[in-house]
Structure 1
Amino acid sequence: MTNLTTAQLIRRSKVAIVFMVGVLGTLIVYSNATDYNSNYIYLGHILNMDTTDSHLMYRSINSEIMHHRIYWMIMTLETIFTSACLLGGYQLARNINSSEQQFHEAKKYAVLGFLVALFVYYFCLQVVGNEWFDMDQSKDWNAMSWAQSIVDFLLPALIFLVMKIDS
């Protein structure tokens, strides 16, 4: 450990964080693929707004075809963020001893993955799910705390990743 510089440790921690997000995505994609129906039902309740006492019911989407399409869109975005993070982690690991510029350029897939994940868990779930579909009003079908915990990790991790403190 005495031969490991702070800069090397920072680079390794960035690689580890990107791979952690990639593993998170892998588990989410696996769950969606192997337990499609449970997650589909969850999303269906959010889109139907059937467990909210909202005066905004005109916003609900009651079409099962649209539920499937929205779910497939979310699963596609989750696959994209997972793939980008795993590729980004690989690119960072491959460039762990490269120049500062090369290491920084190797971050692009990881940054893309983090941005897509933030789009899914912040914009799609928290903004659209909560503000449009009143998801927070449901006691049973509310993904706010789950999505918030992911965003609470992703945003500071993204800031740490893009900082040029790894020279």
Structure 2
Amino acid sequence: MITRLSKISMLMAIALFASLVAFGNITDFNTNFAFVYHVFSMDTIFPDASIKYRSIETPWMHTAGYVAIIAAETLTALLCWIGGFILLKNIKASASVFNKKKNVAILGLTLGFLVWQVGFMSVGGEWFGMWMSKQWNGVPDAFRFFVTIILVLLYLTRRDEELDCQQDK
């Protein structure tokens, strides 16, 4: 039982994190919009970088990109919360049922991984050269986020065994 509670708690910790990130981005839109603007514009990367042709200067694309990020963060949070409550509801179920009920949680954690690894690390960091910016470099934070998420995902997907009957009494 303690392992199941541990998995659910860690999943819900990720749900809380993604909720806070999405909430912050929604309620303080302009603060992190500046981040997206500068990353897309590539105006703070090395002056002699030959990848500046990749920059996006179109304002509506900055907004669309930021809204897509917020939507993905929000969906990550929702899926992780829903997955956590599904698992909590089935905490005393057989191992077979409990393992089958992990799908929504796995989906939420996978989306979270993709948001921060693909969105921030790959697209932002490598395509837009975010790593070159002293002020607008989100690569270290993104790395920390997606590693945490993938560790929870790996732990969650470990197959659960039947509960010890003595534990339930």
Same fold, TM-score > 0.5, yes or no: yes
- In 1: Cα distance, 2:59 partner to 2:39 partner: 12
- Report deviation, 1:101: 1.1
Cα offsets for 1:126-164 (capped at 9, x unmatched): 011111000000000010111111111111110110111
- In 1: Cα distance, 2:22 partner to 2:52 partner: 30
- Report deviation, 1:125: 0.5
- In 1: Cα distance, 2:25 partner to 2:125 partner: 21
Q: Percent of pairs identical after alignment?
A: 31
- In 1: Cα distance, 2:161 partner to 2:141 partner: 31
- Report deviation, 1:165: 3.6
Whether 1:159 and 2:154 are equivalent positions in the alignment is yes
- In 2: Cα distance, 1:108 partner to 1:14 partner: 14
Q: Is the 8 A contact 1:10 1:166 kept in 2?
A: no
Whether 1:40 and 2:33 are equivalent positions in the alignment is yes
Structure 1: runs of 5 or more not aligned: 1-7
Cα offsets for 1:91-128 (capped at 9, x unmatched): 01000000001111111111000111111100011011
Cα offsets for 1:53-91 (capped at 9, x unmatched): 122100000111000001111111111111000000000
> Could you say which residue in structure 2 is the equivalent of 1:18?
11
- In 2: Cα distance, 1:21 partner to 1:166 partner: 24
- In 2: Cα distance, 1:118 partner to 1:133 partner: 19
Whether 1:107 and 2:102 are equivalent positions in the alignment is yes
Q: Is the 8 A contact 1:77 1:120 kept in 2?
A: yes
- Within 5 Å, give how 1:58-69 maps onto structure 2: 58-69=53-64
- In 1: Cα distance, 2:13 partner to 2:103 partner: 17
- In 1: Cα distance, 2:108 partner to 2:98 partner: 17
RMSD: 0.8
TM-score between both structures, scaled by the size of structure 1 = 0.93
Q: Which runs of 4+ in 1 moved over 6 A?
A: none
Q: Is the 8 A contact 1:22 1:85 kept in 2?
A: yes
Structure 2: runs of 5 or more not aligned: 163-169
